[in-house]
C-alpha cells in the first residue's frame, strides 16, 4: 500500500469497524481510514522505544479499543497521537482535518505519552537525595500522578490502557527482555486502574503478562499445574456445561453457559493471600452462566444448589451488593459427586458486558460541545460520570494509601495539575498555580530567588497559570528575596497557600531581623554604659527570663522591655569599702548578736543589715554578708553571682552570717522573685495570682511581657521561708499553659 493511497474500509481488520458512537458505518469507516491514511506516511517507518513499529502498534491498539467497546473516534485518535510529533502545528493541522475535539484528544494523549517517556528516561538514571536510584515506589507514584492528571478526559486513560496492553503483547510475541519498570508499572498502576474502571478484559491480561515477565518461574509452574490434567478437566467441564445448558433449556430459560478462563495471576494471588496449595483454589474449574434477567439469575442459582453441594462460606451476592467498581454477579462454589470444587458465576447479559468492558460499556464518546465533560458525553448522563470519577478517585487512594476521601462531584480532579522539572521530575501543584508556586514547591530558596520562568522552552510572565504536562524551568538570581506584589491576590502571582505562607514568612523574618538588630544595639550600648561588656549576652538573657539573646533583643527593639531591668540586675548597690586597718580593728574579736531583721551577724551588735535586691534571700537559704560603705552589711544568697564576684574581688569584706531563730525571727517575711514562662492566654495572670492568694502569700510586684504568643512574668512575693515557696511553685506549674515556674 503506497503512502499516498487512500485506505478503504475493506482493508481494515473487521473488528476495527465496530462502533459505539452511534455514527453510520460508512462514516465511521471513512473517519478511521482517513486517520490511518493521514498518519501512515509519518509513522510507517518509525519505531517505538520498545522496538515495535509505530504503525503496527497503532493498528493493534485500534483493534484492542474496538474489542473493549471503544468508539471509532478513539480508534482514529490513536493514529493521530503518533502523528503529532511529526507536525509543525499539530493541533491546528489536525483540527482542520478532523475537528477540534478529535485533535484535542490526540494532543492530550500524545502529551501524556511524551511526559511518561521523559519521566521514565529520567528515572532510569535519576538519583535520589542521597545519590541512590529512585525507588520503584517513587517511580510508580509518578506514573500514577501523570495518569490521574490527564484523566479529565477518560478517553485518554483508555487509550493508554490499550497501548500498554499492546506493548506487553509485543514483548510476549517477540520474546524480547522486558524492562522491569515497565512490567511493574503495568501490574501496580495500569491493571488496578483497569480494575477500578471495571475493564476486566484488559485487567486480567495486563496482570498475567506483567506477572509472566516479573516472575517467569512461578508463572511457568502454575501454567504447568493447569496443563497437567487439562484434557480430563476439559472433558468433565464440557459434560457439565451441556448438562446445565440442557436443564435450563427444559425450564424455558435462554441461558448461555460457558467455561470461565483461568487467569494465572489471580490464582497466584489466592494461593499467596490465603496460604492455599494449588489444589485448594476453587476457581480452577469454573462456569459462567449468562441469562436474560435478574430473576433468572436466582433461578439458576437455585438449580445449581439443588443438584450440587454448596460451600456456604464461598457464596457472594454481588447483585444485591455490587462491588465498588459496579461489578454485579452471583458467585457460588459447589462440590460435585467426587467432592471436587466448581465455581459458578451467574449474571445477566448487561452485567456481563459491564464485567468485561466496564466503563467502556456505558460511555459513548462523541463530539460533545461545551456541555460535555471534557469533550465526553456519557450515555447515562450525570450519574454515570460521577460514578466513573469516584472510581478514579478510589483508584488514586488505593495506590497512594490515602486514608480519607477528598470529596465528590464533577470537580474531583480539577484542583490539581502535574508539571515537570527540566529533569522530568513530576511536581504536583494546585489548579491555577504559576511558575512561582512551582519554584517554592521545588525548594523554598528557589522560590525566594525566582525572577523568571520558561514554560516548554518559552519565556512567560511569572503570573501565567500552568497546565498539565508542561515543563517549567526557573531563572533565579544568586541572592535576593520575593516581591511584595506576589502577595497581592489581584495580580495572580500565587495560587498555593503554602507558597504564600513562605513569602509572608520571608518578610516577617526581615522585619524580625531589623528589630533584633535595633535591640542588640540598644543592649550593647547599655552594657557599655554600665562597664559590663564582658558579660555573655546569652547568660544575660537567661537571667532576665529569655530563652535566647535574640528574644531579649527583639522585645527591646520593639520598645516592649525597659533597659532599666538590665541595669538593676547588673548594677546592685556598689559596696563602699573602708580601710583595711579600720575593718580589721572594728570586727576583731566580735561576738554574735541578732539584728532586728532576724539575721545573726557575727561580731557586731545591732549592726545595720539589709537583704540584697539582686538575689532576695529568704530562710533557709545559705547566706553570706558583705560590708558596704555606710549601709551596713548586705545579705546575699551564697549562690548569688554578684556575691561571688564581690567575694572574689574583696574577700576581706565577707562576713559570716546566719538566720536568726526564736521569737526574734517569728512573723518575718522576705520578698523573693518568681519567674513564670507560659503560653499567653486571657486570664493567665489572674489564675497564677489566685494560686499565691490561696497560699496566703502577698504579691507586692508583677512584671509581664508577651512575645509571639509566649508570656514571661516576674512576681515579687513575700514569704516566710523558701520551703513553703517550693510547694507553691509546684501548684503554679499545674496552671493551664504554664511551661516553667522557678525562683530567680
Q: Please, what's the b/e burial string for 48-74 (b: 16 or more CB within 10 A of its CB; e: otherwise)?
A: bebebbbbebbbbbbbbbbbbbbbbbb
157, 413 in Cβ contact below 8 A? no
φ, ψ dihedrals at 420, nearest 5°: -115, 150
Please tell me whether residues 163 and 30 are part of one structural domain: yes
Please tell me whether residues 584 and 645 are part of one structural domain: yes
pLDDT at 73: 85
Cell numbers linked to 163: 497501548
Domain count across the chain: 6
Query: What percent helix, strand, coil does the chain show, rounded to 5?
Result: 50, 15, 30
Mean pLDDT (whole number) for 440-452? 91
Tens digits of per-residue pLDDT, 334-387? Answer: 888 777 788 899 999 888 887 766 654 443 333 233 333 233 333 333 344 445
Tens digits of per-residue pLDDT, 38-65? Answer: 999 999 989 988 889 999 999 999 998 8
Please tell me whether residues 587 and 712 are part of one structural domain: no
Please tell me whether residues 162 and 251 are part of one structural domain: no
Q: Which of 542, 570, 598 is the last residue of a domain?
A: 570
- Confidence at 19, pLDDT banded by 50, 70, 90: very low
Beta bridge partners of 679: 710
pLDDT at 58: 94
Please tell me whether residues 625 and 711 are part of one structural domain: no
Q: Is 290 within the bounds of a domain?
A: yes
Q: Is 74 within the bounds of a domain?
A: yes
pLDDT at 389: 47
- Confidence at 203, pLDDT banded by 50, 70, 90: confident
Question: Would you say residue 545 has pLDDT above 90?
Answer: no
pLDDT at 357: 62
Average pLDDT, the chain: 76
Please tell me whether residues 539 and 597 are part of one structural domain: no
Task: Tell me the residue range of the domain where 562 lies.
Answer: 506-570
Tens digits of per-residue pLDDT, 692-706? Answer: 888 888 888 888 888
Cis peptide before 126 (omega within 30 of 0): no
Mean pLDDT (whole number) for 264-277? 72
Q: Is 464 within the bounds of a domain?
A: yes
In a 13 Å sphere around the CA of 518, the CA atoms on its Cβ side amount to 14
Q: Is 679 within the bounds of a domain?
A: yes
Question: Would you say residue 635 has pLDDT above 70?
Answer: yes
pLDDT at 595: 54
Helix/strand/coil for 617: coil
Please tell me whether residues 526 and 436 are part of one structural domain: no
pLDDT at 551: 83
pLDDT at 37: 92
pLDDT at 572: 59
Q: Which of 570, 589, 606 is the last residue of a domain?
A: 570
Please tell me whether residues 202 and 281 are part of one structural domain: no
pLDDT at 260: 67
Please tell me whether residues 661 and 685 are part of one structural domain: no
Q: Residue 238 sits in a domain of what CATH number?
A: 3.30.460.10
Q: Is 448 within the bounds of a domain?
A: yes
Q: Is 512 within the bounds of a domain?
A: yes
pLDDT at 362: 44
Please tell me whether residues 74 and 175 are part of one structural domain: yes
Q: Is 438 within the bounds of a domain?
A: yes
Q: Is 404 within the bounds of a domain?
A: no
Question: Would you say residue 665 has pLDDT above 80?
Answer: no
Cβ count near 340 (within 10 Å): 14
φ, ψ dihedrals at 230, nearest 5°: -60, -45
Please tell me whether residues 200 and 251 are part of one structural domain: no
Of the ranges 145-154, 296-305, 333-342, 419-428, which one carries the lowest mean pLDDT score? Answer: 145-154
578, 655 in Cβ contact below 8 A? no
Residue that is written with C-alpha cell 504568643 in the block: 709
Cβ count near 264 (within 10 Å): 21
Please tell me whether residues 250 and 344 are part of one structural domain: yes
Q: Which of 93-102, 237-246, 254-263, 278-287 has the highest mean pLDDT?
A: 93-102
pLDDT at 453: 92
Measured distance CA(661)–CA(600) in Å, rounded: 9
Element at 330 (helix H, strand E):
strand 330-335
Q: Which of 643, 665, 687 is the last residue of a domain?
A: 665
Of the ranges 386-395, 399-408, 682-691, which one carries the lowest mean pLDDT score? Answer: 399-408
Q: Which of 286-290, 358-362, 373-377, 433-437 has the highest mean pLDDT?
A: 433-437
Measured distance CA(612)–CA(632) in Å, rounded: 12
Amino acid at each position: 500500500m503506497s503512502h499516498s493511497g487512500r485506505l478503504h474500509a475493506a482493508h481494515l481488520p473487521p473488528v476495527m469497524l465496530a462502533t459505539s458512537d452511534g455514527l453510520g458505518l460508512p462514516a465511521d469507516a471513512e473517519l478511521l481510514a482517513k486517520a490511518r491514511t493521514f498518519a501512515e506516511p509519518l509513522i510507517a517507518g518509525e519505531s517505538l522505544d520498545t522496538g515495535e513499529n509505530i504503525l503496527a502498534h497503532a493498528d493493534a491498539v485500534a483493534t484492542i479499543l474496538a474489542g473493549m467497546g471503544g468508539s471509532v473516534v478513539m480508534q482514529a485518535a490513536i493514529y493521530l497521537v503518533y502523528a503529532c510529533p511529526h507536525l509543525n502545528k499539530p493541533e491546528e493541522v489536525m483540527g482542520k482535518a478532523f475537528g477540534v475535539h478529535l485533535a484535542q484528544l490526540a494532543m492530550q494523549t500524545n502529551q501524556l505519552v511524551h511526559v511518561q517517556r521523559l519521566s521514565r528516561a529520567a528515572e532510569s538514571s535519576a538519583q535520589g537525595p542521597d545519590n541512590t536510584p529512585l525507588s520503584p515506589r517513587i517511580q510508580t507514584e509518578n506514573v500514577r500522578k501523570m495518569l490521574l492528571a490527564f484523566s479529565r478526559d477518560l478517553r485518554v486513560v483508555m487509550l493508554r490502557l490499550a497501548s500498554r496492553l499492546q506493548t506487553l503483547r509485543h514483548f510476549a510475541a517477540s520474546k524480547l527482555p522486558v524492562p522491569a519498570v515497565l512490567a511493574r508499572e503495568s501490574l501496580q498502576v495500569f491493571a488496578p486502574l483497569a480494575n477500578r474502571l471495571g475493564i476486566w478484559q484488559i485487567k486480567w491480561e495486563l496482570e498475567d503478562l506483567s506477572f509472566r515477565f516479573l516472575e517467569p518461574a512461578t508463572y511457568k509452574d502454575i501454567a504447568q499445574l493447569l496443563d497437567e490434567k487439562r484434557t480430563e478437566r476439559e472433558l468433565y467441564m464440557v459434560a457439565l456445561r451441556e448438562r446445565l445448558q440442557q436443564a435450563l433449556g427444559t425450564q424455558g430459560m435462554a441461558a448461555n453457559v460457558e467455561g470461565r478462563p483461568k487467569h494465572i495471576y489471580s490464582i497466584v494471588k489466592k494461593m499467596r493471600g490465603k496460604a492455599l496449595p494449588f489444589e485448594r483454589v476453587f476457581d480452577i474449574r469454573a462456569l459462567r452462566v449468562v441469562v436474560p434477567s435478574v430473576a433468572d439469575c436466582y433461578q439458576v442459582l437455585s438449580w445449581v444448589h439443588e443438584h450440587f453441594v454448596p460451600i456456604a462460606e464461598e457464596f457472594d451476592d454481588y447483585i444485591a451488593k455490587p462491588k465498588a467498581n459496579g461489578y454485579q454477579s452471583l458467585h457460588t462454589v459447589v462440590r460435585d459427586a467426587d467432592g471436587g470444587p466448581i465455581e459458578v458465576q451467574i449474571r445477566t447479559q448487561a452485567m456481563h458486558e459491564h464485567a468485561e468492558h466496564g466503563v467502556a460499556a456505558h460511555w459513548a464518546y462523541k463530539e460533545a460541545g461545551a456541555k460535555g465533560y471534557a469533550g465526553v458525553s456519557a450515555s447515562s448522563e450525570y450519574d454515570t460520570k460521577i460514578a466513573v470519577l469516584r472510581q478514579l478517585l478510589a483508584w488514586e487512594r488505593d495506590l497512594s494509601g490515602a486514608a480519607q476521601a477528598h470529596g465528590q462531584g464533577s470537580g474531583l480532579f480539577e484542583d490539581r495539575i502535574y508539571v515537570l522539572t527540566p529533569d522530568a521530575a513530576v511536581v504536583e501543584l494546585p489548579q491555577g498555580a504559576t511558575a512561582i508556586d512551582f519554584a517554592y514547591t521545588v525548594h523554598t530558596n528557589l522560590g525566594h530567588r525566582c525572577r523568571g520562568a520558561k514554560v516548554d522552552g518559552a519565556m512567560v510572565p511569572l503570573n501565567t497559570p500552568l497546565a498539565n504536562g508542561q515543563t517549567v524551568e526557573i531563572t533565579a538570581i544568586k541572592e535576593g528575596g520575593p516581591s511584595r506584589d506576589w502577595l497581592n491576590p489581584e495580580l495572580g502571582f500565587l495560587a498555593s497557600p503554602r507558597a504564600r505562607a513562605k513569602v509572608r514568612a520571608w518578610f516577617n523574618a526581615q522585619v524580625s531581623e531589623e528589630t533584633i538588630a535595633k535591640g542588640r544595639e540598644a543592649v550593647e550600648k547599655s552594657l557599655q554604659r554600665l562597664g559590663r561588656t564582658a558579660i555573655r549576652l546569652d547568660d544575660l538573657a537567661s537571667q532576665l527570663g529569655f530563652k535566647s539573646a535574640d528574644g531579649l533583643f527583639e522585645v527591646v527593639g520593639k520598645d516592649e522591655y525597659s533597659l532599666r531591668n538590665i541595669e538593676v540586675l547588673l548594677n546592685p548597690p556598689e559596696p563602699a569599702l573602708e580601710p583595711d586597718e579600720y575593718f580589721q580593728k572594728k570586727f576583731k574579736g566580735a561576738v554574735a548578736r541578732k539584728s532586728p531583721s532576724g539575721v545573726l551577724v557575727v561580731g557586731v551588735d545591732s549592726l545595720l543589715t539589709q537583704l540584697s535586691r539582686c538575689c532576695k534571700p529568704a530562710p533557709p537559704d545559705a547566706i553570706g554578708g558583705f560590708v558596704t560603705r555606710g549601709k551596713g552589711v548586705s545579705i546575699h544568697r551564697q549562690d548569688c553571682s554578684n556575691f561571688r564576684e564581690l567575694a572574689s574581688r574583696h574577700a576581706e569584706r565577707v562576713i559570716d552570717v546566719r538566720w536568726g531563730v526564736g521569737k526574734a525571727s517569728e512573723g518575718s517575711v522576705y520578698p523573693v522573685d518568681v519567674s513564670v514562662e507560659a503560653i499567653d492566654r486571657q486570664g493567665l495572670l489572674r489564675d497564677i495570682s489566685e494560686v499565691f492568694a490561696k497560699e496566703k502569700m502577698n504579691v507586692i510586684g508583677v512584671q509581664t511581657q508577651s512575645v509571639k504568643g509566649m508570656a514571661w512574668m516576674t512576681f515579687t512575693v513575700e514569704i516566710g521561708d523558701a520551703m513553703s515557696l517550693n510547694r507553691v511553685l509546684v501548684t503554679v506549674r499545674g496552671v493551664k499553659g504554664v511551661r516553667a515556674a522557678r525562683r530567680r
